Amino acid sequence: MTRLYSNLLLVLTALLLLPFTVFAQKTLVQGTVTYNIIRPLANANVSLDGTYDGATTNAKGEFSFETEEKGTFKLIAKLAGFVDVAQTVELNGEPKLMVKVVFTTKSLTLQDVTVRPRLFDLNDKNKYTVLSPLDVLTTATDGNITSALKTMPGAQAVGESGDLFVRGGTGTETKVYIDGLLVNNFTYSSPSNMAARSRFAPGMFKGTFFSTGGYSAQYGQALSSALVLETEDLPVKSSAELTVSPIMAGVNIQQLSRDKKTAIGGGISHTNLGLYNTLAPGTVQFTQTPRYWDGNASIRHQFQNGGMLKFFANGGVSAVGLDRPNLEYDGITNGIRLTNQNLYTNLTYKQPLKGGWKWQAGLSYAYNNDLTNVAARFQDGERPDSLIHQADRSALWQARNVFSKLILSRTRLTVGTEFQRIGEQRNGSQYTDTYLAQFAETESYLTDRLSARAGVRLEYSSLLQQFNVSPRLALGYSAGANGLLSVSYGRFYQKPDRPFLLQTSSLTYTNADHYIVSYQQVSNDRTFRTEAFYKRYDNLIQTQPVLTNGGWGYARGIEVFFRDKKSIKGVDYWLSYSFLDTKRQYLDYPTAVQPSFAAKHTASAVIKRFFSEIQTNIGLAYTVASGRPYANPERPADAFMTDRTPAYHNLGVSIAHLMSVRKAQSVLVLTVSNALGNQQVFGYAYSTTNPQRREAIVPTNNPFVFVGMFITLGTDRRQEIINSQF
């Protein structure tokens, strides 16, 4: 494996030294913009997707601009009150290109924010929720997607896990999809009660949609929420990026062909927290500090028929070792060592077909292997009398096929199928499952103010030998000039988590019903959104007295979000608040109580400003949450889960300075999480034999400081790098 990475590094270094050549020959793009080929439309914005080239139409609906780009591009036209138009244009070196743009459908969108409730086709940027993809990332102080989303309304500030806990749901009830395909191991493997970050760099995604409930029938097996990501298409130019910091180093290459129809990329990175742990020891006694080797490769090609092929592979190895006190016996330490190998591949193809149909297909393979060793170490020198060796392996094959078409001019029909073949193994236990799903969904403009989405999803699991049917429905009404009132309902199913299926297949689906009412208003660079929800959980897993689907629960609450980019010149800020009332009777809970991962009150404030005179971007993100319950075995049965952790406070600070190193564009980044050094306690681990012995669950490093230099050659990606760090 070491030799493989060495060879890959040599290849990537050689590619880095290749010259990037751009042949500049300007093309004049001219055209007209009309409504139904009759009425000229003024003030429409027309641009080449992925570039800065474009223009605005005059009173006659005419536009013109020059470009040096070559190859196949999407020409995007936007105008308030209409659905965006995207059409393919071919820039083949001719001095002039004439284009006719026709708007046919009036939109319920208001300033690029959809008024249609939760209709999210990632090809349509109008269907994102309140924040754009880069906006979502501007709240993270570690460049991690899930860290950023934890400050959004509905998400819980669970600091001991890298998963997303949403509206009373567990971390495993939020699923992640890349280009429509499921990712089972989105974060790195880590020992229990230690948060892990995403395996995937934020810069590889152009679209980020975070649904906190009531999501589309196109996605399933997620009881609480869905995080949907879409990878970048062809880059505008070739580029290379170097990352240098005391804890990590990496290189990434993107080579664009001369005809701008093919891009080949790859990268490698190494992270080692050894130096950091030496300079700033944390709360964990590491015997081997966390270290990671990661590599990625990608191929993207634009066909003449408008088809787009994308392939990427992401893999790596990691290792960590640490000592923890054995809570059962004095003088004994548990020596824990965890190693991991992971691979995720994703192949997708999309193409417009005859008759107005669009086709998108995908294939994926994922493999994950965790090897955990736990040995007892005695202070008196005796040999260990126990050794735990656990091998966790999983493999996932999946395929996806989706067709969509605009019918009756105001309705879009989407139909699709999914196939998954899952293999899970833990020591002597194993199972395989064939999962099949079919879905159909319509998205309609019933009137100029009323929209609807209706869908149904049919699923089957060979392991459970059961079918289920999931209906979904959403309605949206445009209230006044700038408001949207929407309601939605959906039933969602999910197979029990893998530890329980490894014990028995005599279980059934867990399920939840979502009821949501929301109101959103957008005007003058200000956004206000409030949402009320109720969820009913059934057939949750219970482990006591025996393993069954006898659990249940509910979650209800209200969320408020406000964003303002206008009141203070040069300042962008937003505020969010979530109230959550939730109870569950599941696992070993003897009665229905507020679960240990849920806080009743959570609030976040984010502010950022770019100081042009010093070329520096500064951002602050503050999150506060009320204390979470934990089980104290010294309490009587009727006081189960009545103890609370201290309130959670976290101030994140990010500073990014733009600079140039010779001809390379660079960003020097400093980020600090929990800058105030608040003593955060996420819960307690208790001894099963002596309840008076316990260990607090706390952050690994408090605070955590990152300093790094990001150097780009070719395309100037400094702003993207800044956004990914905030």
Question: For residues 205 and 481, is the Cβ–Cβ distance under 8 A?
Answer: no
The answer to whether residues 91 and 221 belong to one domain is no
Q: Give the residue from 68, 49, 93, 71 showing the smallest Cα distance to 260.
A: 71
Question: For residues 194 and 415, is the Cβ–Cβ distance under 8 A?
Answer: no
The answer to whether residues 320 and 457 belong to one domain is yes
Question: For residues 604 and 576, is the Cβ–Cβ distance under 8 A?
Answer: yes
The count of C-alpha atoms lying within 13 angstroms of the C-alpha of 720, restricted to the half-sphere facing its C-beta, is 15
d(CA 337, CA 333): 13
Residue at 120 is within a domain: no
Residue at 135 is within a domain: no
Q: What's the pLDDT score for residue 35?
A: 77
> Which amino acid, one-letter code, is at 68?
E
The answer to whether residues 93 and 209 belong to one domain is no
Residue at 63 is within a domain: yes
Residue at 153 is within a domain: no
Alpha carbon 44 to its chain centroid, in Å, reads: 32
285: Cβ contacts below 8 Å, ≥ 6 apart: 322, 323, 324
Taking the complete model, does pTM exceed 0.75, yes or no?
yes
Domain boundary (63, 80, 107) is at 107
What is the extent of the structural domain holding 50? 1-107
- Three-state secondary structure call for residue 147: helix
Q: Contacts for 536-540 with beta carbons within 8 Å, 24 or more apart?
A: 536/512, 537/168, 537/223, 537/510, 537/511, 537/512, 537/584, 538/510, 538/511, 538/512, 539/508, 539/509, 539/510, 539/511, 540/510, 540/584, 540/585, 540/586
> Which amino acid, one-letter code, is at 257?
S
Question: Which residue is associated with the tokens 């706390």?
Answer: 698
Q: What are φ and ψ of residue 478, in 5° steps? A: -75, 110
Residue at 155 is within a domain: no
Q: How many Cβ atoms are within 10 Å of 328's Cβ, its own excluded?
A: 13
Domain boundary (91, 107, 123) is at 107
- Three-state secondary structure call for residue 274: helix
d(CA 392, CA 45): 53
End-to-end C-alpha distance for the chain, whole angstroms: 34
Domain count for the chain, please give it.
2
d(CA 46, CA 64): 9
**What CA dihedral angle connects 491, 216, 82 and 123, to 10 degrees?**
180
The answer to whether residues 226 and 80 belong to one domain is no
Residue at 130 is within a domain: no
The answer to whether residues 207 and 99 belong to one domain is no
Taken in order 184, 186, 188, 191, the sign of the CA dihedral is negative
The answer to whether residues 582 and 442 belong to one domain is yes
The predicted-structure confidence for 526-552, as pLDDT tens digits, reads as follows 889 899 999 999 999 999 999 999 999
The answer to whether residues 649 and 538 belong to one domain is yes
The predicted-structure confidence for 689-722, as pLDDT tens digits, reads as follows 888 899 999 998 888 888 988 888 765 555 555 5
The answer to whether residues 693 and 561 belong to one domain is yes
Which token pair is 190?
């880590």
CATH number at residue 523: 2.40.170.20
CA 139, 145, 147: angle at the middle one, nearest 5?
A: 60
Of all residues in the chain, the percent with pLDDT exceeding 70 is 86
Q: What's the pLDDT score for residue 428?
A: 85
Which token pair is 375?
């040995």
d(CA 70, CA 53): 12
Q: What's the pLDDT score for residue 209?
A: 67
Alpha helices in 224-289 (DSSP H): 274-279
Query: Is residue 4 packed enough to be buried (19+ CB in 10 Å), middle (13-18) or exposed (0-12)?
Result: exposed
The answer to whether residues 493 and 386 belong to one domain is yes
Q: Which helix (H) or strand (E) holds 655?
A: strand 648-661
Question: For residues 319 and 294, is the Cβ–Cβ distance under 8 A?
Answer: no
d(CA 440, CA 415): 4
What does pLDDT average to in each consecutive run of 10 residues of the chain (726 residues)? 40 34 66 80 85 84 88 85 82 88 59 30 34 44 67 84 90 92 92 86 71 86 88 84 91 91 94 90 90 95 91 96 88 90 96 90 97 82 66 96 88 95 93 97 86 94 96 88 86 95 94 94 83 96 95 96 87 92 96 95 91 86 94 92 95 86 78 89 91 90 88 64 48
Per the rule left: phi > 0, alpha: psi between -120 and 50, beta: everything else, 701 is beta
Alpha carbon 95 to its chain centroid, in Å, reads: 42
Domain boundary (54, 76, 107) is at 107
Taken in order 541, 542, 548, 553, the sign of the CA dihedral is negative
341: Cβ contacts below 8 Å, ≥ 6 apart: 315, 316, 317, 367, 368, 369
Residue at 126 is within a domain: no
- Rounded (to 5) percent helix, strand, coil in the chain: 10, 55, 35
Residue at 499 is within a domain: yes
Taken in order 75, 78, 82, 83, the sign of the CA dihedral is positive
CATH number at residue 59: 2.60.40.1120
Which token pair is 3?
């030799």
Query: Does the N-terminal peptide bond of residue 352 adopt cis geometry, omega within 30 degrees of 0?
Result: no
Q: Give the residue from 577, 707, 704, 717 showing the smallest Cα distance to 147.
A: 704
